[in-house]
Structure 1
Amino acid sequence: MKIDDKEEVLTVEKATYPYPPLWSFDGNLLLYQKEVEELVNEHKQTSNQLWVYDMKTKKHSKIFYDGRNPKWSPTENIVAFSDGGVLNVSDFKKFYNIALGVNDYEWQPDGKGFIASSSASLRPDGWTNPVLYTISIANGYQNIGNLTKNATEFFVIPKEVVKDDVKVPSINAESFAYSSDKQWISFFVTPTASWAMDSDMLCVISVDGKEFEVLDEVIWAFTPKWAYSENLLGYIAGGGRIVFGFKNKNLKVTEISTYHSINLTPKNYAEMDFSWVNDSSLIVSRVKESEWSNDAEKRPKASLYFLTLAGQKQLKITTPPKNKGDYKPEYLPSIDKITWLRKSDFVSAKGDLWVADIDGGNANLWIRDIGLYTFSPSE
């Protein structure tokens, strides 16, 4: 952990930490996932342990021996996670089963339940539909005796979702995110695993389930992001994984529910990531369009650009060295700064963390040679 210029080592034993750590809503607790190899019946098995670090007591607590997809409650210090399709909630003393057959989920903004999906199943006559559910824990998560009683069918996703001339079979629904006014939910509809690397559909649905819309073809490697206080959804549109070329990756912003979209990417460029600065401006990581090369030095290197929606002003704000690129921009509202990773290549696991003003001024190297990271909600 680094606060200003002071660094502190939190874990003593070296291990594989496959996902970014997750801060609780109040910034007092930090959840991290540790990959551990164990011998089970003389066979090596890999488990994904869930741990919580308490910032005040400096103590580490293992909350589950092999959990997946953990998410903090938005209103209290409890954690949801999945294990073999079972959705659970932990209060760090015990864990409680909440629902069965869950593929992906997200906490509802009030912390009193979840939006969740079940995957389509393959049967002799074809695939079934993926289904969205709401799951309530309004009466408490500790005493749920019937794991199906609190689940309510919310929306049945069509067996195939279509946008223009692209069709994707609906197998899974994933990566749910609520709009700032909590009235809309964005999510991906994805096909089978290998296909999903190249073509998914970004969709939105109203919280009453009455309005469902397919927005665009995307790939799951790029996360859509809602604006801070307007119903504007930013996303990088275009199918095809990056190893097929640095192309067909356009930053779009769509207003919900008029579904009016604007494309902010100029011709002959492709976007690698972005961050909202406010409801009318963004920072993007951008490269010149290029074919993929197995030689990392020949791949295009990204620079950061500042964009505005009104007038579509576009200003290049970083110029990295020839052998480096600037990726993963993130705006920190509390200090009015942008951060990014400067690294050798888009696919590189590690880089140097930089911080600067939103116009790129006063740029400084903050942390050298880091991989997965996250900022405290107070930063």
Structure 2
Amino acid sequence: MKSYIHALFVLLMLFVWAAPSSGWTRIQPYTAAFIRDNDLWITSGTQEKRITTGEYIRNPKWSFDGKWVAFTKGKEQQEVWAYHTVTKSLRRIGEGENVQWSPKYSILAFQTNNTLRIANVDTPATPIITTIADQIGNYAWNPSGNGLLVSTLSKLLPNGKWEDIYLYNMRLEAGSSAPNKELLYRISNQTDDFFAVLTSTFKWSPDGKWIAFIAIPTASLSADDNTLCLLSADGKTFIKIGNMLHNTNWFNWAPKSDKLAYIAGVGREATSNKKLTVVKEPFPLNQRSYTPDGRVDTDFTWRDNHTIIASRATEAQWTSNPDKRPLPELVFIDLDTGVQAKLTAPPTGYGDYYPLFVEDGRKLSWIRTNRSTAEVMLSSPDGKHMHVWIPDLTLGTNYYERWNWSEVFQPYNTSTN
């Protein structure tokens, strides 16, 4: 009886304290969280502020209203922390990783090993934390922010086969003693042409009808080949779209249409066989690649439903000498006409990565690096009037020229929050 009352209280208080506020703090223009010298910094307007000192910080994530920045602390064993931008206070949430904010509440989800937990950080004292489910491979908040879609972690059975992967909707309801758990779909993990033991996070189409995710095989296989999948929101239709690397920044929906762009291609090297591809209904037959022969695309961002900015380099066979690997520039792609144009021309020895539109699309940001140093650039949407926005950025991790810049740079109010 005591455990029932405690669970009821926790779920009720999660939504009481986390209710959307009508008195949000006004966010200054050009606001971003970033990592410099392994510490968390925030830039807002023309001011930079150092938040931590002498730590190892990664993965900054903004809350929906800009009041909080969550991040991970520690290189080996990670802890989840949150910084309150109004009171300038830091809160330790607990051990964990894979941090995601609710899109509409001050509730933070994270994983501790394979256990999914949520924390209401917007409380007067210690954050309220509750366990949602165990043996979770991955998850995402639903667009309403009142529940999560989770995938189970497949286990190897004594007979040598792997368990199927189950996708569940976990709805959080105030007044309920536990999340409302409902099976959405079961993925048969091993067929002649398909094998997966876990999934990536999930991304909903703008109309909420489709859910995109990557189906991931075992570690040795996933380094080279994974499957991009679509599932209808009612769980009735499952479609395999194509093969790609395990990089959640490499698949994204158009802002207001059913077009899904992804970087297609197998092989762990980002220097070859990586093609920007757009698929739309009827899935999966209606696909088109926009990467010219002899070139590779890696990072990209949607400007609107008809145009994409991509990071593009000359295709090349892998070499262990970094100086011989081609560096990318930014290009503009009109999906309707097929017209493509170069936006940037980085200096010799530098490449342009990770384009993002900020300030409600009025500015384009990206990372410029020579693989030893990095800075965030800013320009008008057409690439003109460019200048350095954030100098001395800590380098993201690099695996065969596949850079992870989201772990060191997060502007406020973008689709990556």
Q: What secondary structure sits across from 2:220 in the alignment?
A: helix
Q: Comparing both chains, which one has the higher relative contact order based on Cα–Cα distances under 8 Å and sequence gaps of 6 or more?
A: 2
- After superposition, the Cα gap between the structure-2 partners of 1:135 and 1:186, relative to the gap in structure 1 and judged at 3 Å, is same
Aligned with 2:221: secondary structure? helix
| CA distance in structure 2 between the aligned counterparts of 1:309 and 1:73, rounded to whole angstroms | 32
Q: Distance in 1 between matches of 2:173 and 2:214?
A: 27
2:50 maps to which residue? 9
SS of equivalent residue, structure 1 residue 290: coil
| Partner SS for 1:195 | helix
> Structure 1 residues 94, 287: CA separation in 2 closer, same or farther (over 3 Å shift)?
same
Q: What does 1:179-218 correspond to in 2, within 5 Å?
A: 179-218=205-244
Alignment of 1:1-379 (within 5 A): 1-11=42-52, 13-17=53-57, 19-35=58-74, 46-64=76-94, 66-92=95-121, 93-125=127-159, 126-139=161-174, 143-144=177-178, 150-160=180-190, 167-221=193-247, 222-242=249-269, 246-259=271-284, 260-332=286-358, 334-345=360-371, 350-371=373-394, 372-377=408-413
Query: TM-score by structure 1 length?
Result: 0.89
Q: CA deviation at 1:257?
A: 4.2
Task: Compare 79-88 and 149-158 and name the one that shifted more.
Answer: 149-158
Q: Post-superposition shift, 1:109?
A: 1.0
Tell me, in whole angstroms, the C-alpha distance in 2 between the residues paired with 1:258 and 1:225: 15
TM-score (normalised: structure 2): 0.81
- 2:399 is aligned to none
Residue identity in the other structure for 2:63: S
Q: Which moved more, 1:106-115 or 1:281-290?
A: 106-115
**Contact 1:99 1:151 (8 Å CA) reproduced:** no
2-side partners of 1:341 and 1:231: how far apart?
28
Unpaired runs of at least 5, structure 2: 1-41, 122-126, 395-407
Q: What 5-or-longer segments of structure 1 have no aligned partner?
A: 37-45
Contact in 1 for aligned 2:259/2:278 (Cα 8 Å): yes
How much does 1:135 deviate?
A: 1.1
SS in 2 for 1:297: helix
Q: Is the 8 A contact 1:233 1:256 kept in 2?
A: no
| TM-superposed deviation, 1:153 | 1.7
Q: Do the aligned residues in 2 keep the contact of 1:303 with 1:325 (CA within 8 Å)?
A: yes
Identity across matched positions, percent:
29
Q: How many residues align?
A: 353
Q: Give the aligned partner of residue 39 of structure 2.
A: none
Contact 1:168 1:190 (C-alpha < 8 Å) held by counterparts: no
Question: Given residue 357 of structure 1, which amino acid in structure 2 is its aligned partner?
Answer: S
Deviation string, structure 1 residues 344-375 (Cα, Å, up to 9, x no partner): 14xx6x51110112221111111112131101
Give, in whole Å, the separation in 2 of the partners of 1:297 and 1:311: 36
Q: Identify if the C-alpha distance between structure 1 residues 335 and 133 changes in structure 2 by more than 3 Å, giving closer, same or farther.
A: closer
Distance 1:52 1:140, change over 3 A: farther
Deviation at 1:258, TM superposition (A): 4.1
Distance in 1 between residues matched to 2:229 and 2:51, nearest whole Å: 39
1:99-154 residue CA offsets vs partner (Å, 9 max, x unmatched): 2221100011112211110122111221121111111212457x42xxxx732221
CA distance in 1, matches of 2:152, 2:295: 37
- Write the deviation string for residues 241-293 of structure 1: whole angstroms up to 9, x where unpaired: 11xx6111000011144431111101110012100000000100000110122
Task: Name the CA distance, whole Å, in 2 between partners of 1:332 and 1:261.
Answer: 28
Secondary structure of the 2:56 match is coil
CA distance in 2, matches of 1:133, 1:282: 33
Deviation at 1:158, TM superposition (A): 2.2
For the aligned residues, what is the CA RMSD? 1.8
Q: Distance in 1 between matches of 2:199 and 2:283?
A: 23
Whole-Å separation in 1 of the counterparts to 2:56 and 2:366: 23
SS at match of 1:210: coil
**Contact 2:357–2:414 (8 Å) recurs in 1:** no
